[in-house]
Chains A and B, each alone.
Chain A
Amino acid sequence: MSAERGNVKILVFTCRWCGLIGADGAGRKRIELPASYRVIQVDCAGYVEPDAVIRALASGATGVAVLGCHVGGCRFNDANHPALKRLELLKTLLDTTGIGGRRLLLGFGTAHESHQYAEMIVDFHRELEGMPSMASWLPQGE
């Protein structure tokens, strides 16, 4: 079984109030980041339904990250609690099937934590590189 090395694609769903500003900050500080990730801005991490994460994995993403505000510090009060609870449950399911809950990263930070953002993405990238390939789960080429 081949590893995902060199084939890593990360899709990042990030809340625009905290995570996205953190990502911006990481860019402004010229922190070197892997080129393997793309960011989708959402209004709140609570918007990210687990189905969207599943769909991303099905469409060829190696890993998905969902970033929100600190738990309890969410702009919409409790909105990131359901995000956390649902996605933790999804991790259980991914672990069961062997796809691996580690393909889903949950991160909670604030707008000025750009260094943490960078660290999270770099670590996640490195972790995904070592994961087994998902080829057997994806539709075989065109």
Chain B
Amino acid sequence: MLDQVKQKAKEILEKKEADGVLGLRKGLFDVIHPHVFTVPSELDALVLEPKWLFAKMARAILREKPQAWRLAVIVRGCDERAIVELVKRNQIDRERLLTLGYACDMDQAKACLCSRPFPQKLDAGAAVEGVDPLADERVKAYLEGDAGKRMEMWAAQLKRCIKCYGCRNSCPICVCVPCKLEDDVWVERGVIPAEMISFQIIRAFHLSDTCVACGACQEACPVGIPLMTLQLSMREALKKDYNYEAGLDANRKSPVLFDFAKEPRPGQAVPDWVDSMGKKP
């Protein structure tokens, strides 16, 4: 798979489809770091592991470069979804960005509890079946069962937060400036552990319709709070109610803030005389 990716990346650079390819490079002393390859011969040092999300990085690079400069990014499934979400929010210009997608293997999918471990535009590798995160035992313990018990469980987990903002910084979609989590009105600053309801629930809810389930927040968390698990129920609800999944279609906006007339929430009682919600598109 690595050779395939290298080959494709070389083609992109040789044909001048893009001016740079963003990927991981095994540099001096075998240190692996993100790198923008601009010369085809450089690409021999390209590697694919470990998992590294480039969406936010691509955004930063494109902002710095002149308008005509184009970037190709080597992406996994989750990375591609994150890029789609950023495109929706006008953070990335799709015209200037190429993706070179490769599929994760089964082990990686299992480690991430990923339900979609392959990009939609697959250039290398074979797509493997995803894992249903809600079927996992560890996840079940946090999402199902007695509410009072869960309340204590989550409280015990979130209490360990050292407020490093790692979850926010590593999230490929958290790009707001200014951030509410740094505002005294919403979250009191300088308090450790973070105020649990304000900090954690506001952060989780801001990503409710955006989360692409990449698991970066969970991996970045130094104390190991299962942060991605917190998002799963909301992702599931959006899927069930609106058939919406973040990061799949760049043209479909979040159903929470758009499509009022088209998509009434199932089970919501709407009086007969109201036609604004019942209207068929």
Contacts and interface: CB of A to CB of B under 8 A. Distances in A.
Interface residues of B, number: 44
Contacts of A100: 147, 151
A89 B237 contact: yes
Contact of B151 (A58, A89, A97): A97
Interface string A77-120: 11001101110111011111111100000000000000000000
B209 interface: yes
Contact of A98 (B153, B268, B271): B153
Contact of B265 (A58, A85, A97): A85
Interface residues of A, number: 36
Contact of A54 (B152, B205, B209): B205
A1 B260 contact: no
B138 interface: no
Nearest to B191: A139
A134 B154 CA distance: 12
A77 B276 contact: yes
B277 A136 contact: no
A135 B201 CA distance: 16
Contacts of B61: none
B126 interface: no
Contacts, number: 116
B150 A97 contact: yes
B180 interface: yes
Interface string A29-42: 00000000000000
B179 to A, nearest CB: 12
A140 to B, nearest CB: 10
A132 interface: yes
B195 A139 contact: yes
A128 B115 CA distance: 37
B181 to A, nearest CB: 10
Interface in B202-257: 202, 204-206, 208-209, 230, 233-234, 237-238, 255-257
Contacts of A25: none
Contact of B209 (A1, A89, A96): A89
B149 interface: yes
Contact of B205 (A50, A72, A84, A98): A50
Contact of A95 (B147, B152, B180, B260): B147
B4 interface: no
Interface of B: 142-143, 147-155, 180, 186, 191, 195-198, 201-202, 204-206, 208-209, 230, 233-234, 237-238, 255-257, 260-261, 265, 268, 270-271, 273-277
Given A78-B260, A93-B205, 15 more contacts: A54-B197, A54-B201, A58-B197, A72-B273, A89-B205, A89-B208, A90-B208, A93-B204, A93-B208, A96-B142, A97-B150, A98-B151, A136-B151, A137-B197, A138-B197
